Amino acid sequence: MIRVESLTRTYGDLTAVDQVSFEIGTGEIVGLLGHNGAGKTTIMKMLTGYLEPTGGYIEINGLDISTKRATVQRQIGYLPENDPLYYEMTVIDYLDYAATLHGVPDAERTDRIREAIAQTELSSKATDAIGTLSRGFCQRVGVAQAILHNPRVLILDEPTNGLDPTQVQHMRDLIRSMAEHATVILSTHILQEVQAICTRVIIIHDGRKVLDSTMDELLTGKRLQVAVDAKPERAIKMLSSVDGVVSVEPVSQRGPGNRYVLDLGNDGDPAEAAHIVASRIATEGWKLYALQPERRDLEQIFSEISAVEQAYSG
Ligand code: ATP
């Protein structure tokens, strides 16, 4: 569990993180999304206790990071943006060293290292020097050290950066399995990445939080699609009179019935509106062929995000 309140960080005159607040529970995989320089890395460094906030409050698993930093850090797995690996060390020696830093008890050390190597599919490289590994394998070593101590909070700065498509898939599976027992927060500047793996997205723009939404909310539009067996004039008149429906637009027919898209406005609730529409159609005695919230594609979401970002710029 992560709780952040009014988190702020300045560098001289620059406010890199500006009054950011959020709460993340166990089992959530939250994507911090933002352009280069938005403030994602700065937030992550503060969450892990490696950077002092200028203002605000961070609580990890109920502990105030400003007073319990060492305890908190033992509960966190952190993959930094540019993981400072020791290139002359072998993978296994490096993980042994990382286990010491994480305070893994001696009795558990061998098992934990073996498990982290298996989880990140590093067995074939375990005795290789880190300096001889490809970018993708180095990234896996970084993840192996982050999960070595079974952390309850996992903070991953651009975890799929530099990985090939197979490795990306594997990394996503690994993150999902880690999220069964941990709170996961990862950063990326790619919306597709968030869609593929995250349950929730927080968008950071110029250091500020401009959007915080579950992926389901983000992908479910504020429009309802309905297909009904009624004359268009009567259908449009009735549907327009439903509470919460802002406008009704006929769309080309696919399948049985006449199809309409109901715009519910910015504050619309598709589930509530669907319930009312269904009962009104039943009262009219019309046949209802389809009734579902419109799923938005990434293009539509991108333009909404750009609009939100523009509203916060300047
Ligand atoms: P990227 O996707 O490029 O990694 P980011 O969202 O992680 O970007 P940050 O690295 O957090 O962004 O940077 C936020 C802002 O703070 C940027 O304007 C950056 O130049 C500035 N910044 C970061 N670290 C420092 C520092 N040590 N000194 C001065 N400014 C800094």
179 and 289 share one domain = no
Instruction: Centre a 10 Å sphere on the Cβ of residue 60 and count the other Cβ atoms it contains.
Output: 26
Question: Which of 168, 199, 218 marks a domain boundary?
Answer: 218
Q: Quote the mean pLDDT of the chain.
A: 90
For the chain, percent of residues with pLDDT exceeding 90: 63
- pTM beyond 0.85, yes or no: no
What is the DSSP-derived secondary structure letter of residue 296? Answer: P
Query: What's the N-to-C CA distance of the chain in angstroms?
Result: 34
CB 44 within 8 A of CB 32: yes
**Is the residue at 97 inside a domain?**
yes
26-49 confidence digits (pLDDT tens): 889 999 998 889 999 999 999 999
CATH number at residue 258: 3.30.70.100
| Nearest ligand 1 atom, CA 81 | 4
134-184 confidence digits (pLDDT tens): 888 888 899 999 999 999 999 999 998 878 888 889 889 989 988 888 899
Ligand 1 center from residue 159 Cα (angstroms): 17
**pLDDT(314) > 70:** no
CB 270 within 8 A of CB 224: yes
**Is the residue at 183 inside a domain?**
yes
**Is the residue at 173 inside a domain?**
yes
pLDDT at 253: 67
124 and 188 share one domain = yes
Ligand 1 center from residue 54 Cα (angstroms): 15
Which residues lie with the beta carbon below 6 Å from any ligand 1 atom? 11, 14, 16, 34, 36-42, 81, 189
User: Average pLDDT, stretch 49-60?
Assistant: 96
170 and 101 share one domain = yes
**Is the residue at 300 inside a domain?**
no
**pLDDT(257) > 80:** yes
Complete edge-to-edge strand list for the sheet that includes strand 247-251 = 247-251, 258-263, 220-229, 287-295
For the chain, percent of residues with pLDDT exceeding 70: 99
Its domain, for residue 93, covers 2-218
**pLDDT(226) > 80:** yes
51 and 196 share one domain = yes
Amino acid at 2: I
Residue 297 pLDDT level (bands cut at 50, 70, 90): confident
CATH number at residue 36: 3.40.50.300
Residue nearest atom 31 of ligand 1, based on CA coordinates: 11
Question: Which of 183, 218, 253 marks a domain boundary?
Answer: 218
**Is the residue at 307 inside a domain?**
no
Mutate to test the pocket of ligand 1, among 8, 18, 41, 82 (most ligand atoms within 8 A of CB): 41
61 and 143 share one domain = yes
Number of H helices, E strands in the chain: 11, 14
What total number of domains does the chain contain? Answer: 2
60-97 confidence digits (pLDDT tens): 999 999 999 999 998 999 999 876 678 899 999 999 99
83 and 175 share one domain = yes
**Is the residue at 302 inside a domain?**
no
Ligand 1 center from residue 76 Cα (angstroms): 22
**Is the residue at 114 inside a domain?**
yes
**Is the residue at 60 inside a domain?**
yes
Ligand 1 center from residue 126 Cα (angstroms): 34
